Chains A and B, each alone.
Chain A
Protein backbone atom coordinates (compact mmCIF):
# COMPACT_ATOMS: atom_id res chain seq x y z
CA UNK A 1 0.00 0.00 0.00
CA UNK A 2 1.33 3.42 -0.91
CA UNK A 3 -0.89 5.46 1.40
CA UNK A 4 -2.00 4.21 4.79
CA UNK A 5 -3.83 6.09 7.52
CA UNK A 6 -4.75 4.55 10.85
CA UNK A 7 -7.27 6.19 13.19
CA UNK A 8 -6.13 9.54 11.81
CA UNK A 9 -7.75 12.37 13.74
CA UNK A 10 -7.36 16.14 13.68
CA UNK A 11 -9.08 18.39 16.19
CA UNK A 12 -8.93 22.16 16.56
CA UNK A 13 -10.07 22.69 20.14
CA UNK A 14 -13.67 21.51 20.30
CA UNK A 15 -13.93 21.22 16.50
CA UNK A 16 -13.18 17.83 14.97
CA UNK A 17 -12.01 18.28 11.39
CA UNK A 18 -11.20 14.61 10.79
CA UNK A 19 -11.98 11.63 12.99
CA UNK A 20 -10.71 8.08 13.09
CA UNK A 21 -9.86 7.88 9.41
CA UNK A 22 -8.69 4.45 8.24
CA UNK A 23 -7.68 4.45 4.61
CA UNK A 24 -5.42 2.42 2.35
CA UNK A 25 -4.58 3.36 -1.23
CA UNK A 26 -2.50 1.07 -3.39
CA UNK A 27 0.12 1.84 -6.02
CA UNK A 28 -1.34 2.78 -9.41
CA UNK A 29 -4.81 3.55 -8.06
CA UNK A 30 -6.80 6.73 -8.72
CA UNK A 31 -8.68 7.41 -5.52
CA UNK A 32 -11.56 9.90 -5.54
CA UNK A 33 -12.24 11.84 -2.39
CA UNK A 34 -15.72 13.32 -2.13
CA UNK A 35 -17.52 15.47 0.37
CA UNK A 36 -18.95 18.95 0.68
CA UNK A 37 -16.97 21.90 2.02
CA UNK A 38 -16.00 21.33 5.65
CA UNK A 39 -16.34 17.55 5.46
CA UNK A 40 -12.60 17.05 6.10
CA UNK A 41 -11.23 16.43 2.59
CA UNK A 42 -8.65 19.19 2.66
CA UNK A 43 -7.73 18.37 6.28
CA UNK A 44 -7.03 14.76 5.24
CA UNK A 45 -4.90 15.92 2.30
CA UNK A 46 -3.00 18.43 4.48
CA UNK A 47 -2.35 15.72 7.06
CA UNK A 48 -0.95 13.51 4.29
CA UNK A 49 1.28 16.41 3.23
CA UNK A 50 2.55 16.85 6.80
CA UNK A 51 1.27 20.43 6.99
CA UNK A 52 -0.75 19.55 10.08
CA UNK A 53 0.25 17.56 13.14
CA UNK A 54 -2.30 14.77 13.75
CA UNK A 55 -4.14 14.98 17.07
CA UNK A 56 -4.00 11.18 17.13
CA UNK A 57 -3.49 8.32 14.72
CA UNK A 58 -0.96 8.18 11.94
CA UNK A 59 -0.51 8.60 8.23
CA UNK A 60 2.17 6.99 6.08
CA UNK A 61 3.15 7.40 2.46
CA UNK A 62 5.54 4.81 1.02
CA UNK A 63 6.19 3.69 4.58
CA UNK A 64 7.24 7.17 5.70
CA UNK A 65 5.52 9.06 8.50
CA UNK A 66 3.77 12.01 6.86
CA UNK A 67 4.43 14.44 9.73
CA UNK A 68 7.81 13.36 11.09
CA UNK A 69 9.41 12.54 7.73
CA UNK A 70 7.65 15.18 5.67
CA UNK A 71 10.67 16.09 3.53
CA UNK A 72 11.18 12.47 2.48
CA UNK A 73 7.42 12.18 1.91
CA UNK A 74 7.47 15.25 -0.34
CA UNK A 75 10.00 13.51 -2.59
CA UNK A 76 7.29 10.90 -3.18
CA UNK A 77 4.42 13.35 -3.65
CA UNK A 78 3.43 16.20 -5.94
CA UNK A 79 0.61 18.30 -4.53
CA UNK A 80 -1.85 20.68 -6.10
CA UNK A 81 -3.61 22.77 -3.44
CA UNK A 82 -7.29 23.57 -3.70
CA UNK A 83 -6.65 27.28 -3.71
CA UNK A 84 -3.63 27.85 -5.95
CA UNK A 85 -1.46 30.86 -5.09
CA UNK A 86 1.82 31.30 -6.90
CA UNK A 87 4.93 33.42 -6.55
CA UNK A 88 5.03 36.80 -8.22
CA UNK A 89 7.15 35.69 -11.15
CA UNK A 90 6.66 35.02 -14.83
CA UNK A 91 4.98 31.72 -15.66
CA UNK A 92 8.20 30.18 -16.97
CA UNK A 93 10.13 31.30 -13.88
CA UNK A 94 7.56 29.61 -11.65
CA UNK A 95 8.06 26.32 -13.53
CA UNK A 96 11.85 26.75 -13.43
CA UNK A 97 11.66 27.39 -9.67
CA UNK A 98 9.76 24.15 -9.04
CA UNK A 99 12.06 22.18 -11.35
CA UNK A 100 15.13 23.54 -9.56
CA UNK A 101 13.77 23.09 -6.07
CA UNK A 102 13.11 19.42 -6.88
CA UNK A 103 16.36 19.05 -8.78
CA UNK A 104 14.51 18.05 -11.98
CA UNK A 105 16.72 17.96 -15.06
CA UNK A 106 15.38 17.57 -18.57
CA UNK A 107 16.81 14.83 -20.76
CA UNK A 108 15.16 16.09 -23.93
CA UNK A 109 16.03 19.78 -23.75
CA UNK A 110 12.50 21.01 -23.01
CA UNK A 111 11.52 20.51 -19.36
CA UNK A 112 8.46 18.31 -18.93
CA UNK A 113 6.62 21.10 -17.12
CA UNK A 114 7.08 23.43 -20.13
CA UNK A 115 5.78 20.77 -22.50
CA UNK A 116 2.79 20.22 -20.24
CA UNK A 117 2.09 23.95 -20.08
CA UNK A 118 2.07 24.02 -23.86
CA UNK A 119 -0.34 21.08 -23.92
CA UNK A 120 -2.61 23.04 -21.56
CA UNK A 121 -2.33 26.02 -23.95
CA UNK A 122 -0.73 28.31 -21.40
CA UNK A 123 1.26 31.46 -22.19
CA UNK A 124 4.33 31.17 -19.96
CA UNK A 125 5.72 34.61 -20.77
CA UNK A 126 2.93 36.26 -18.79
CA UNK A 127 3.59 37.27 -15.17
CA UNK A 128 1.51 35.37 -12.61
CA UNK A 129 0.00 38.65 -11.42
CA UNK A 130 -1.54 39.13 -14.87
CA UNK A 131 -2.93 35.60 -15.14
CA UNK A 132 -6.57 34.68 -14.63
CA UNK A 133 -7.52 32.15 -11.94
CA UNK A 134 -7.84 29.44 -14.61
CA UNK A 135 -4.40 30.24 -16.03
CA UNK A 136 -2.84 30.05 -12.59
CA UNK A 137 -4.55 26.70 -12.10
CA UNK A 138 -3.07 25.46 -15.39
CA UNK A 139 0.38 26.71 -14.40
CA UNK A 140 0.21 24.91 -11.07
CA UNK A 141 -1.03 21.76 -12.82
CA UNK A 142 1.93 21.91 -15.21
CA UNK A 143 4.31 22.22 -12.26
CA UNK A 144 2.66 19.40 -10.30
CA UNK A 145 1.85 16.84 -12.99
CA UNK A 146 5.24 17.13 -14.70
CA UNK A 147 6.99 15.76 -11.63
CA UNK A 148 7.10 11.98 -11.83
CA UNK A 149 6.48 11.18 -8.18
CA UNK A 150 4.78 7.91 -7.15
CA UNK A 151 1.84 9.91 -5.72
CA UNK A 152 0.00 12.99 -6.96
CA UNK A 153 -2.48 14.68 -4.64
CA UNK A 154 -4.88 16.91 -6.55
CA UNK A 155 -7.29 19.02 -4.53
CA UNK A 156 -10.07 20.12 -6.87
CA UNK A 157 -7.78 20.22 -9.91
CA UNK A 158 -10.44 21.16 -12.45
CA UNK A 159 -12.05 24.05 -10.62
CA UNK A 160 -11.79 27.26 -12.67
CA UNK A 161 -10.97 25.40 -15.89
CA UNK A 162 -12.90 25.45 -19.15
CA UNK A 163 -14.38 22.14 -20.39
CA UNK A 164 -11.61 21.46 -22.93
CA UNK A 165 -8.85 21.86 -20.39
CA UNK A 166 -10.87 19.79 -17.88
CA UNK A 167 -10.82 16.92 -20.34
CA UNK A 168 -7.08 17.41 -20.73
CA UNK A 169 -6.61 17.24 -16.97
CA UNK A 170 -8.65 14.04 -16.75
CA UNK A 171 -6.49 12.64 -19.56
CA UNK A 172 -3.40 13.55 -17.54
CA UNK A 173 -4.80 11.66 -14.55
CA UNK A 174 -5.42 8.59 -16.74
CA UNK A 175 -1.88 8.85 -18.12
CA UNK A 176 -0.51 9.06 -14.58
CA UNK A 177 -2.37 5.85 -13.70
CA UNK A 178 -1.11 4.18 -16.88
CA UNK A 179 2.41 5.12 -15.82
CA UNK A 180 1.85 3.38 -12.48
CA UNK A 181 1.40 6.53 -10.44
CA UNK A 182 -1.16 6.84 -7.69
CA UNK A 183 -3.50 9.83 -7.71
CA UNK A 184 -5.70 11.16 -4.93
CA UNK A 185 -8.35 13.18 -6.69
CA UNK A 186 -10.50 15.41 -4.54
CA UNK A 187 -13.45 16.99 -6.30
CA UNK A 188 -17.02 18.24 -6.05
CA UNK A 189 -17.71 17.20 -9.63
CA UNK A 190 -19.08 13.66 -9.38
CA UNK A 191 -19.08 13.09 -13.10
CA UNK A 192 -15.30 13.60 -13.27
CA UNK A 193 -14.72 11.29 -10.34
CA UNK A 194 -16.82 8.60 -12.03
CA UNK A 195 -14.79 9.03 -15.21
CA UNK A 196 -11.28 8.69 -13.80
CA UNK A 197 -11.34 7.10 -10.37
CA UNK A 198 -10.87 3.44 -9.53
CA UNK A 199 -12.24 3.84 -6.02
CA UNK A 200 -14.06 6.54 -4.11
CA UNK A 201 -14.35 7.59 -0.50
CA UNK A 202 -17.01 9.91 0.86
CA UNK A 203 -16.39 12.08 3.89
CA UNK A 204 -19.13 13.44 6.08
CA UNK A 205 -18.50 15.70 9.08
CA UNK A 206 -14.88 14.54 9.32
CA UNK A 207 -15.64 10.82 9.04
CA UNK A 208 -14.94 8.52 6.12
CA UNK A 209 -18.42 7.06 5.71
CA UNK A 210 -18.22 5.27 2.36
CA UNK A 211 -15.55 3.41 0.43
CA UNK A 212 -16.18 1.52 -2.77
CA UNK A 213 -14.50 0.60 -6.02
CA UNK A 214 -16.05 2.12 -9.12
CA UNK A 215 -16.24 -1.37 -10.68
CA UNK A 216 -18.54 -2.50 -7.86
CA UNK A 217 -20.54 0.69 -8.10
CA UNK A 218 -20.99 0.27 -11.86
CA UNK A 219 -22.47 -3.21 -11.26
CA UNK A 220 -25.19 -1.78 -9.04
CA UNK A 221 -28.51 -0.89 -10.63
CA UNK A 222 -31.85 0.41 -9.53
CA UNK A 223 -35.03 -0.90 -11.14
CA UNK A 224 -38.08 1.31 -10.86
CA UNK A 225 -41.60 0.48 -11.99
CA UNK A 226 -45.32 0.70 -11.32
CA UNK A 227 -46.82 -2.32 -9.59
CA UNK A 228 -49.80 -3.83 -11.39
CA UNK A 229 -50.40 -6.30 -8.53
CA UNK A 230 -49.04 -6.91 -5.01
CA UNK A 231 -45.30 -7.29 -4.84
CA UNK A 232 -44.44 -10.99 -4.30
CA UNK A 233 -41.87 -11.94 -1.65
CA UNK A 234 -38.25 -12.20 -2.74
CA UNK A 235 -37.17 -15.81 -3.29
CA UNK A 236 -34.91 -16.91 -0.43
CA UNK A 237 -32.33 -18.39 -2.81
CA UNK A 238 -31.91 -15.18 -4.81
CA UNK A 239 -28.36 -13.88 -4.62
CA UNK A 240 -27.40 -11.08 -4.31
CA UNK A 241 -30.44 -10.12 -2.24
CA UNK A 242 -31.91 -6.88 -3.61
CA UNK A 243 -33.13 -3.97 -1.46
CA UNK A 244 -36.81 -3.28 -2.14
CA UNK A 245 -38.90 -0.26 -1.27
CA UNK A 246 -42.49 0.37 -2.31
CA UNK A 247 -44.46 3.58 -2.21
CA UNK A 248 -47.82 4.64 -3.73
CA UNK A 249 -47.96 1.65 -6.04
CA UNK A 250 -44.39 2.10 -7.26
CA UNK A 251 -41.43 -0.10 -6.45
CA UNK A 252 -37.69 0.58 -6.33
CA UNK A 253 -35.36 -2.42 -6.39
CA UNK A 254 -31.68 -1.80 -5.79
CA UNK A 255 -29.19 -4.50 -6.72
CA UNK A 256 -26.11 -4.72 -4.52
CA UNK A 257 -24.10 -6.47 -7.25
CA UNK A 258 -24.43 -7.80 -10.80
CA UNK A 259 -27.86 -7.39 -12.38
CA UNK A 260 -27.73 -10.56 -14.47
CA UNK A 261 -28.70 -13.10 -11.73
CA UNK A 262 -31.84 -11.07 -11.01
CA UNK A 263 -33.09 -10.73 -14.57
CA UNK A 264 -35.13 -13.94 -14.53
CA UNK A 265 -36.85 -13.01 -11.28
CA UNK A 266 -37.46 -9.44 -12.48
CA UNK A 267 -39.24 -10.77 -15.58
CA UNK A 268 -41.78 -12.51 -13.33
CA UNK A 269 -42.69 -9.38 -11.36
CA UNK A 270 -46.04 -7.60 -11.96
CA UNK A 271 -44.42 -4.40 -13.21
CA UNK A 272 -45.27 -1.74 -15.74
CA UNK A 273 -43.27 1.31 -16.91
CA UNK A 274 -40.00 -0.40 -15.95
CA UNK A 275 -36.78 1.62 -15.91
CA UNK A 276 -33.38 0.15 -15.19
CA UNK A 277 -30.61 2.61 -14.34
CA UNK A 278 -27.12 2.33 -12.88
CA UNK A 279 -27.10 3.51 -9.25
CA UNK A 280 -24.34 6.03 -10.05
CA UNK A 281 -22.15 8.03 -7.77
CA UNK A 282 -24.66 10.82 -7.46
CA UNK A 283 -27.24 8.58 -5.80
CA UNK A 284 -24.63 7.21 -3.40
CA UNK A 285 -23.39 10.70 -2.64
CA UNK A 286 -26.90 11.95 -1.99
CA UNK A 287 -27.44 9.17 0.49
CA UNK A 288 -24.87 10.85 2.68
CA UNK A 289 -25.16 14.48 1.73
CA UNK A 290 -28.68 15.06 0.45
CA UNK A 291 -29.38 16.86 -2.82
CA UNK A 292 -28.13 20.01 -4.46
CA UNK A 293 -24.72 18.89 -5.66
CA UNK A 294 -23.57 18.46 -9.19
Chain B
Protein backbone atom coordinates (compact mmCIF):
# COMPACT_ATOMS: atom_id res chain seq x y z
CA UNK B 1 0.00 0.00 0.00
CA UNK B 2 1.07 3.50 -0.77
CA UNK B 3 2.75 5.44 2.07
CA UNK B 4 1.53 8.75 0.70
CA UNK B 5 -2.06 7.55 1.01
CA UNK B 6 -1.46 6.44 4.59
CA UNK B 7 0.06 9.80 5.49
CA UNK B 8 -2.82 11.67 3.88
CA UNK B 9 -5.47 9.53 5.58
CA UNK B 10 -3.82 9.88 8.99
CA UNK B 11 -3.37 13.61 8.43
CA UNK B 12 -7.07 13.98 7.56
CA UNK B 13 -8.12 12.05 10.68
CA UNK B 14 -5.72 13.25 13.35
CA UNK B 15 -7.49 16.36 14.68
CA UNK B 16 -10.90 14.74 15.09
CA UNK B 17 -9.33 11.60 16.52
CA UNK B 18 -7.26 13.55 19.04
CA UNK B 19 -10.35 15.44 20.18
CA UNK B 20 -12.48 12.30 20.54
CA UNK B 21 -9.74 10.32 22.32
CA UNK B 22 -9.29 13.19 24.77
CA UNK B 23 -13.07 13.40 25.21
CA UNK B 24 -13.43 9.68 25.91
CA UNK B 25 -10.50 9.56 28.29
CA UNK B 26 -11.57 12.69 30.14
CA UNK B 27 -15.22 11.73 30.27
CA UNK B 28 -14.66 8.23 31.70
CA UNK B 29 -12.21 9.63 34.23
CA UNK B 30 -14.75 12.31 35.22
CA UNK B 31 -17.55 9.72 35.32
CA UNK B 32 -15.63 7.58 37.81
CA UNK B 33 -14.87 10.62 39.95
CA UNK B 34 -18.50 11.84 39.94
CA UNK B 35 -19.73 8.30 40.69
CA UNK B 36 -17.37 8.10 43.66
CA UNK B 37 -18.93 11.24 45.11
CA UNK B 38 -22.40 9.66 45.33
CA UNK B 39 -23.08 7.16 48.11
CA UNK B 40 -24.01 3.64 47.04
CA UNK B 41 -27.22 3.69 49.12
CA UNK B 42 -28.36 6.98 47.64
CA UNK B 43 -28.03 5.57 44.11
CA UNK B 44 -30.03 2.48 45.05
CA UNK B 45 -32.80 4.60 46.60
CA UNK B 46 -32.85 6.89 43.57
CA UNK B 47 -33.03 4.07 41.02
CA UNK B 48 -35.63 2.11 42.99
CA UNK B 49 -37.86 5.19 42.85
CA UNK B 50 -37.97 4.86 39.04
CA UNK B 51 -40.97 3.08 37.46
CA UNK B 52 -40.10 -0.48 36.39
CA UNK B 53 -40.21 0.33 32.65
CA UNK B 54 -37.64 3.07 33.10
CA UNK B 55 -35.41 0.80 35.19
CA UNK B 56 -35.30 -1.49 32.18
CA UNK B 57 -33.62 1.30 30.20
CA UNK B 58 -30.47 0.62 32.26
CA UNK B 59 -30.11 -2.63 30.36
CA UNK B 60 -29.19 -4.64 33.45
CA UNK B 61 -30.88 -5.80 36.66
CA UNK B 62 -31.17 -3.12 39.34
CA UNK B 63 -29.14 -5.22 41.76
CA UNK B 64 -26.19 -5.09 39.38
CA UNK B 65 -26.72 -1.44 38.46
CA UNK B 66 -26.22 -0.29 42.04
CA UNK B 67 -22.87 -2.05 42.48
CA UNK B 68 -19.72 0.07 41.93
CA UNK B 69 -18.97 -1.86 38.71
CA UNK B 70 -22.56 -1.48 37.52
CA UNK B 71 -22.60 2.25 38.17
CA UNK B 72 -19.31 2.73 36.32
CA UNK B 73 -20.54 0.50 33.46
CA UNK B 74 -23.30 3.04 32.83
CA UNK B 75 -20.51 5.38 31.76
CA UNK B 76 -20.14 3.25 28.61
CA UNK B 77 -23.73 3.83 27.46
CA UNK B 78 -23.77 7.51 28.32
CA UNK B 79 -24.85 9.89 25.50
CA UNK B 80 -21.33 11.36 25.50
CA UNK B 81 -19.88 7.97 24.53
CA UNK B 82 -22.61 7.43 21.93
CA UNK B 83 -21.92 10.90 20.54
CA UNK B 84 -18.20 10.19 20.24
CA UNK B 85 -18.70 6.84 18.49
CA UNK B 86 -21.32 8.24 16.12
CA UNK B 87 -19.18 11.29 15.35
CA UNK B 88 -16.13 9.21 14.49
CA UNK B 89 -18.03 6.56 12.54
CA UNK B 90 -20.14 8.97 10.50
CA UNK B 91 -17.45 11.58 9.94
CA UNK B 92 -14.88 9.08 8.73
CA UNK B 93 -17.21 6.77 6.81
CA UNK B 94 -18.99 9.56 4.96
CA UNK B 95 -15.64 11.14 4.07
CA UNK B 96 -14.21 7.94 2.59
CA UNK B 97 -15.79 8.22 -0.86
CA UNK B 98 -18.59 10.79 -1.05
CA UNK B 99 -16.44 13.28 0.88
CA UNK B 100 -13.55 13.04 -1.61
CA UNK B 101 -15.97 13.09 -4.55
CA UNK B 102 -17.87 16.07 -3.15
CA UNK B 103 -14.65 18.03 -2.64
CA UNK B 104 -13.57 17.09 -6.14
CA UNK B 105 -10.31 15.55 -4.90
CA UNK B 106 -11.22 11.96 -5.78
CA UNK B 107 -10.65 12.76 -9.45
CA UNK B 108 -7.02 13.73 -8.90
CA UNK B 109 -6.52 10.84 -6.50
CA UNK B 110 -7.85 8.26 -8.96
CA UNK B 111 -5.81 9.78 -11.78
CA UNK B 112 -2.75 8.38 -9.96
CA UNK B 113 -1.68 4.74 -10.31
CA UNK B 114 -3.69 3.76 -7.25
CA UNK B 115 -6.33 1.04 -7.10
CA UNK B 116 -9.77 2.01 -5.88
CA UNK B 117 -9.68 -0.88 -3.39
CA UNK B 118 -6.48 0.60 -1.92
CA UNK B 119 -8.18 3.92 -1.29
CA UNK B 120 -11.04 2.21 0.58
CA UNK B 121 -8.69 -0.13 2.46
CA UNK B 122 -6.35 2.62 3.70
CA UNK B 123 -9.28 4.75 4.79
CA UNK B 124 -10.93 1.79 6.52
CA UNK B 125 -7.71 0.83 8.29
CA UNK B 126 -7.23 4.34 9.69
CA UNK B 127 -10.90 4.51 10.72
CA UNK B 128 -10.62 1.13 12.44
CA UNK B 129 -7.42 2.13 14.23
CA UNK B 130 -9.16 5.32 15.36
CA UNK B 131 -12.13 3.31 16.66
CA UNK B 132 -9.72 1.12 18.61
CA UNK B 133 -8.02 4.19 20.10
CA UNK B 134 -11.40 5.62 21.12
CA UNK B 135 -12.30 2.34 22.88
CA UNK B 136 -8.84 2.20 24.48
CA UNK B 137 -9.14 5.83 25.63
CA UNK B 138 -12.46 4.99 27.34
CA UNK B 139 -10.89 2.08 29.19
CA UNK B 140 -7.77 4.05 30.15
CA UNK B 141 -10.02 6.86 31.39
CA UNK B 142 -11.83 4.38 33.63
CA UNK B 143 -8.50 3.01 34.90
CA UNK B 144 -7.19 6.50 35.57
CA UNK B 145 -10.41 7.40 37.38
CA UNK B 146 -10.31 4.26 39.53
CA UNK B 147 -6.69 4.97 40.44
CA UNK B 148 -7.43 8.63 41.19
CA UNK B 149 -10.38 7.92 43.52
CA UNK B 150 -8.68 4.91 45.11
CA UNK B 151 -11.25 2.31 43.96
CA UNK B 152 -8.76 -0.10 42.44
CA UNK B 153 -9.31 -2.50 45.35
CA UNK B 154 -13.13 -2.52 44.85
CA UNK B 155 -13.42 -2.55 41.08
CA UNK B 156 -11.21 -4.49 38.71
CA UNK B 157 -10.29 -2.47 35.58
CA UNK B 158 -10.20 -5.68 33.51
CA UNK B 159 -14.01 -5.91 33.86
CA UNK B 160 -14.27 -2.92 31.55
CA UNK B 161 -12.06 -4.31 28.80
CA UNK B 162 -14.96 -6.11 27.13
CA UNK B 163 -17.13 -2.96 27.49
CA UNK B 164 -14.45 -0.92 25.74
CA UNK B 165 -14.17 -3.59 23.01
CA UNK B 166 -17.96 -3.31 22.54
CA UNK B 167 -17.58 0.48 22.13
CA UNK B 168 -14.89 -0.21 19.52
CA UNK B 169 -17.15 -2.72 17.72
CA UNK B 170 -20.02 -0.22 17.51
CA UNK B 171 -17.67 2.49 16.22
CA UNK B 172 -16.24 0.05 13.67
CA UNK B 173 -19.74 -0.86 12.47
CA UNK B 174 -20.82 2.78 12.18
CA UNK B 175 -17.68 3.63 10.21
CA UNK B 176 -18.28 0.69 7.86
CA UNK B 177 -22.00 1.38 7.37
CA UNK B 178 -21.25 5.05 6.66
CA UNK B 179 -18.60 3.99 4.13
CA UNK B 180 -21.23 1.80 2.45
CA UNK B 181 -23.65 4.74 2.10
CA UNK B 182 -20.73 6.93 1.02
CA UNK B 183 -19.79 4.43 -1.72
CA UNK B 184 -22.88 5.22 -3.79
CA UNK B 185 -23.31 8.85 -2.76
CA UNK B 186 -21.64 11.91 -4.25
CA UNK B 187 -22.67 14.36 -1.56
CA UNK B 188 -21.18 13.85 1.89
CA UNK B 189 -23.97 15.55 3.80
CA UNK B 190 -26.50 13.24 2.21
CA UNK B 191 -24.48 10.24 3.39
CA UNK B 192 -24.38 11.71 6.92
CA UNK B 193 -28.12 12.35 6.76
CA UNK B 194 -28.90 8.78 5.70
CA UNK B 195 -26.68 7.33 8.43
CA UNK B 196 -27.98 9.76 11.06
CA UNK B 197 -31.57 8.77 10.28
CA UNK B 198 -30.59 5.08 10.35
CA UNK B 199 -28.98 5.46 13.77
CA UNK B 200 -31.96 7.32 15.25
CA UNK B 201 -34.37 4.65 13.97
CA UNK B 202 -32.17 1.92 15.43
CA UNK B 203 -32.06 3.79 18.74
CA UNK B 204 -35.86 4.17 18.83
CA UNK B 205 -36.31 0.45 18.13
CA UNK B 206 -33.92 -0.40 20.98
CA UNK B 207 -35.73 1.91 23.41
CA UNK B 208 -39.13 0.44 22.46
CA UNK B 209 -37.73 -3.08 22.91
CA UNK B 210 -36.50 -2.11 26.39
CA UNK B 211 -39.66 -0.27 27.50
CA UNK B 212 -42.25 -2.75 26.19
CA UNK B 213 -41.59 -6.33 27.38
CA UNK B 214 -44.01 -7.67 24.74
CA UNK B 215 -41.87 -6.14 22.02
CA UNK B 216 -38.52 -7.28 23.39
CA UNK B 217 -38.03 -9.34 20.19
CA UNK B 218 -37.38 -5.97 18.50
CA UNK B 219 -33.95 -6.09 20.12
CA UNK B 220 -33.03 -8.63 17.43
CA UNK B 221 -34.13 -6.15 14.73
CA UNK B 222 -31.60 -3.49 15.61
CA UNK B 223 -27.82 -3.58 15.43
CA UNK B 224 -27.83 -1.59 18.66
CA UNK B 225 -29.10 -4.78 20.31
CA UNK B 226 -25.45 -5.85 20.06
CA UNK B 227 -24.26 -2.73 21.88
CA UNK B 228 -24.45 -3.79 25.56
CA UNK B 229 -21.19 -2.70 27.21
CA UNK B 230 -22.86 -2.37 30.61
CA UNK B 231 -23.83 -6.06 30.60
CA UNK B 232 -20.35 -7.07 29.49
CA UNK B 233 -18.86 -5.13 32.42
CA UNK B 234 -21.15 -6.48 35.14
CA UNK B 235 -21.06 -10.11 34.00
CA UNK B 236 -17.34 -10.86 33.78
CA UNK B 237 -17.94 -14.59 33.94
CA UNK B 238 -19.95 -14.50 30.68
CA UNK B 239 -18.17 -11.49 29.21
CA UNK B 240 -16.16 -13.26 26.51
CA UNK B 241 -19.08 -15.44 25.48
CA UNK B 242 -21.33 -12.38 25.21
CA UNK B 243 -18.53 -10.39 23.62
CA UNK B 244 -18.25 -12.97 20.87
CA UNK B 245 -22.00 -12.61 20.22
CA UNK B 246 -22.25 -8.82 20.43
CA UNK B 247 -18.90 -7.81 19.01
CA UNK B 248 -19.02 -10.63 16.47
CA UNK B 249 -22.35 -9.27 15.20
CA UNK B 250 -21.14 -5.67 14.97
CA UNK B 251 -17.74 -6.50 13.48
CA UNK B 252 -19.21 -9.10 11.11
CA UNK B 253 -21.81 -6.65 9.82
CA UNK B 254 -19.09 -4.01 9.57
CA UNK B 255 -16.86 -6.26 7.47
CA UNK B 256 -19.84 -7.01 5.17
CA UNK B 257 -20.48 -3.27 4.81
CA UNK B 258 -16.84 -2.61 3.90
CA UNK B 259 -16.88 -5.43 1.33
CA UNK B 260 -20.08 -4.12 -0.25
CA UNK B 261 -18.74 -0.56 -0.22
CA UNK B 262 -15.58 -1.70 -2.00
CA UNK B 263 -17.55 -3.57 -4.67
CA UNK B 264 -19.86 -0.60 -5.27
CA UNK B 265 -17.01 1.93 -5.39
CA UNK B 266 -14.91 -0.22 -7.73
CA UNK B 267 -17.81 -0.55 -10.17
CA UNK B 268 -19.30 2.93 -10.09
CA UNK B 269 -18.68 5.78 -12.50
CA UNK B 270 -16.75 8.62 -10.95
CA UNK B 271 -18.94 11.69 -11.30
CA UNK B 272 -17.42 15.02 -12.25
CA UNK B 273 -17.01 17.44 -9.33
CA UNK B 274 -20.15 19.47 -8.67
Contacts and interface: CB of A to CB of B under 8 A. Distances in A.
A86 B272 contact: no
A140 interface: yes
Interface residues of B, number: 23
A189 interface: no
Contact of A85 (B8, B108, B267): B108
Given A51-B269, A51-B270, A83-B273, A102 B113 contact: yes
A181 interface: no
Contacts of B107: 51, 81, 85
B112 A42 contact: no
B114 interface: yes
Interface string B79-110: 00000000000000000000000011101101
A97 interface: yes
Nearest to A140: B108
Contact of B105 (A75, A87, A102): A87
Interface string B1-40: 0111101100100000000000000000000000000000
Given A46-B272, A85-B273, A51 B110 contact: yes
Nearest to B115: A71
Interface string A40-62: 00100010010111000000000
A74 B108 CA distance: 11
A49 B111 contact: yes
Nearest to B267: A53
Contacts of A49: 110-111
A85 to B, nearest CB: 3
Nearest to A83: B273
Contacts of A53: 267, 269
A52 B110 CA distance: 12
Nearest to B104: A85
B114 to A, nearest CB: 6
Interface string A59-80: 0000000000011101101110
A8 B105 CA distance: 26
Contacts of B3: 100
B111 A101 contact: no
Contacts of A74: 110-114
Interface residues of A, number: 28
Contacts of B4: 96-97, 100-101
A101 B9 CA distance: 13
Most chain A C-beta atoms within 10 Å of own C-beta, residue among B2, B108, B269: B108
A52 B113 contact: no
Contacts of B113: 71-72, 74-75, 101-102
A71 B114 contact: yes
A73 B5 CA distance: 19
Given A79-B111, A85-B103, A87-B8, A101 B2 contact: yes
Given A51-B269, A52-B270, A98 B112 contact: yes
In the A-B complex, list the 9 residue pairs whose CB atoms are closest, starting with the nearest.
A85-B104, A100-B4, A51-B270, A79-B111, A101-B4, A74-B113, A75-B113, A52-B269, A101-B112
Interface of B: 2-5, 7-8, 11, 103-105, 107-108, 110-115, 267, 269-270, 272-273
Interface of A: 42, 46, 49, 51-53, 70-72, 74-75, 77-79, 81, 83-87, 89, 96-98, 100-102, 140
